[in-house]
Amino acid sequence: MKLNQYIFTLIIFGAVLVGKVDTYASIDFTHDEYVRITHPVTDYDEDYILTTFEEHINIMGEAKVGTNITISVVQEQVLYKEYILGEVGATQTFNQLIELGEKDNQIVLEYTTIEKEIGVIVVDIYRQPEEHKLKIKNYIVSTPSDLPDNLVEKTTDTGIQIIMIGK
């Protein structure tokens, strides 16, 4: 009997401790910032296009609690795919695996906050055509002369060629 009473008291005490779920404190937003994309990494002030060979890409980011998010993939001003993520929870994070069409893709992230602020973030992603992927996949380098010029460095002292592979 005492054991049951102890378990009952523990359950009630545990329920009181759980209470309200608070937001994740380490994510800070500026005064007029509500949503940010963290992957793929983009600089909204720069004018460039991300390029990939992948058919799918994971869009990840941070947003204020209660923000509703929709992600659209647009090709040639026509809606290709749409993803309704819904309301961002206490972790203040979101992610969505999206499908890219070949060539130009405009990723349009639309959001509405609890305060009824509405915003749009646009990211351009270029998906290389499959034939480009196959050409590179089957590309054979037998000598340094087979490499494009920007991958071969010549030193000034010894005349030895340094071939850069990867990053």
- Give the homologous superfamily in CATH for domain 22-163: Macroglobulin (MG2) domain (2.60.40.1930)
Tokens linked to 97: 């695996």
- Three-class DSSP labels, 47-59: CCCEEECCCEEEE
For residue 37, give every residue at least 6 positions away whose Cβ sits within 8 Å of its Cβ, in sequence order, or none: 59, 60, 61, 109, 121, 123
Q: What is the pLDDT of residues 123-161, one digit of tens each?
A: 999 998 888 777 777 776 677 676 665 555 554 554 555
Question: What is the per-residue pLDDT for 108?
Answer: 95
pTM (two decimals): 0.65
Give the least confident one: 10-24, 39-53, 127-141, 151-165.
10-24
Extents of the domains making up the chain: 22-163
The confidence score (pLDDT) of residue 14 equals: 45
How many Å apart are CA 10 and CA 151, to the nearest integer? 67
